[in-house]
A and B are shown apart, each in its own frame.
Chain A
Amino acid sequence: MKPEIVENVAFNLIRQAVIYLPEDVKQALKKAYEEETSEAGKTQLKAILENIELAEKYQAPICQDTGTIIFYVSAGAEVRGLDKLENALINATRKATKEIPLRPNAVDPFTQKNSGDNTGRFIPYIHWEIAPGNTLELTVMTKGGGSENVCLTGMLVPGEGINGLKKFVIESIIKAGAQPCPPTIVGVAMGGGADIAMKLAKKALLRPLNEPNPNPEIAKLERELYEAANMTGIGPMGLGGKTTVLGVHVEYAYRHPASFPAAVAFNCWAARRATARIHEDGSVEYLTHKEKV
């Protein structure tokens, strides 16, 4: 696979993600606006919808916090040239920062120096998965800092079972309050280990809002947590109202008998993500933003 193609696709994905919200998120926000009864909350949702339209009209990033760039790569085992991929993704990030433009959001945590181009040690971060076949699926998440700051990992008590998890999720949402720019999408994961749970919770943010977990029991838990979260009254931007979350997505991994790791990840209403599939012959399918190439 030619690195120039991957670079070009990655650039397009970043551009799509920061300018156009995925359709499912847009629809959920419109529904929230229609159903919101709090006056302050409705003002916020109206501004959000107006802003989404303006971003599309002026081809500018929806939010000035264009986030940390995170790639999820699912690489077919037969794809050649994977060693050139990391570099292609870094180049795409630099180009996107300059041309779209993006806000430079990569800071050395020791010296506090901003690299100026959204790249640095481990940034953009790349999650790798090997899949069968000869295609490459590339997803970008541009993850805002406000919603990242309230992500939580907890090592719960196994004896409390699922009740412990429900409590942890609700308390995390209450603690986050206005900070993650509600209405948010909440990713929840249980099991695995501290790192695995957070990885799964964050990846759950990529799942479209109209796709419940395929396991019906977990889907039921998602629904229950969604309804509970919207009973908090935090509301749009924390100014009060009935829309605090747009969805709750739950994932799980098996756990150690002595541990019940849990993680809650948040995405702001500007839940920016885009996916494309690159075929062996170099043809590209844009999966989340079909009409926006």
Chain B
Amino acid sequence: MPVYHLKTPISEEEIRKLKVNDVLYITGTIVTARDQAHRRALEYLKEGKPLPINLEGLAVFHCGPVVAKEGDKWVAVAAGPTTSTRMDLFEDEFIKNFKVRVVIGKGGMGKRTTDAMAKYGAVYGAFTGGAAILAAKAIKNVRGVEWLDLGTPEALWIFEVENFGPLTVAIDSHGNNLFLDVAKNVEENRKKIYQKLGLPP
């Protein structure tokens, strides 16, 4: 399976080369955003206010990290992904308007996000849920934090990363979605399971 190492800002052309099942490592800037930050970012957009950071070509990371302050410097102690489906509500608008090229999370996303990724050129990189130290060790510097009033898990954390991954490309920019493929396969397996357990279909 092909392995890609990309540097932010990532261009649309680079992202279009990726296919589902490819493995991706990112070097550069990634920004965390969960439910509340997505919501606020889109509110800012509606009000015509600029975001505290330009997200074009960057990766957005569904993550609420454990952080510690050493002197006046923030350190990411543990920073694995959170469940992405909650962000399906916002992600299509987010990709369209802020031009992020990679969405990092766990658990996959639905059709609305998949369609937006195909239309505007972005991929979903699945990072192993719970692998928080693996992620934290790739974070070389916490460049900043915005919207800390939302609480540390929900704030926008700006991370400088080196070879952040492995990310399994689970949604590519061509309409393929590995999670939806697995779901189809599970549907087929359900019949066999019912048979094995002696359950009526």
A, B: real partners: yes
Interface residues of A (CB under 8 A from B): 39-40, 43-44, 47-48, 50-51, 54-55, 58, 60-66, 101-105, 107, 114, 116, 144-146, 149, 163, 166-167, 170, 174, 177-179, 181, 224, 227-228, 231-235, 237-240, 268-270
B133: chain A residues at CB < 8 Å are: 51, 54-55, 58, 60-62
A39: chain B residues at CB < 8 Å are: 1, 21
25 contacts between A and B (CB under 8 A): A40-B21, A47-B134, A48-B131, A50-B131, A54-B134, A61-B132, A62-B78, A63-B80, A63-B129, A64-B64, A64-B80, A65-B130, A114-B152, A146-B83, A170-B194, A178-B106, A178-B182, A181-B130, A232-B186, A233-B182, A237-B107, A238-B182, A239-B126, A240-B182, A269-B130
B53: chain A residues at CB < 8 Å are: none
Which of A64, A65, A166, A234 makes the CB contact (< 8 A) with B182? A234
Sorting the interface of chain B by its residue count into under 10, 10 to 19, 20 to 34 or 35 or more gives: 35 or more
A102: chain B residues at CB < 8 Å are: 66
Complex CA–CA separation, A239 to B190 (angstroms): 17
Complex CA–CA separation, A64 to B85 (angstroms): 18
Known: A170-B194, A240-B185. 18 other contacts (CB 8 A): A39-B21, A40-B178, A43-B23, A44-B128, A47-B128, A48-B130, A62-B133, A63-B131, A64-B64, A64-B77, A64-B78, A149-B83, A166-B197, A179-B85, A228-B196, A238-B108, A239-B126, A239-B182
A43-B183 CB under 8 A given contacts A65-B80, A146-B129, A239-B126: no
A174: chain B residues at CB < 8 Å are: 186, 190
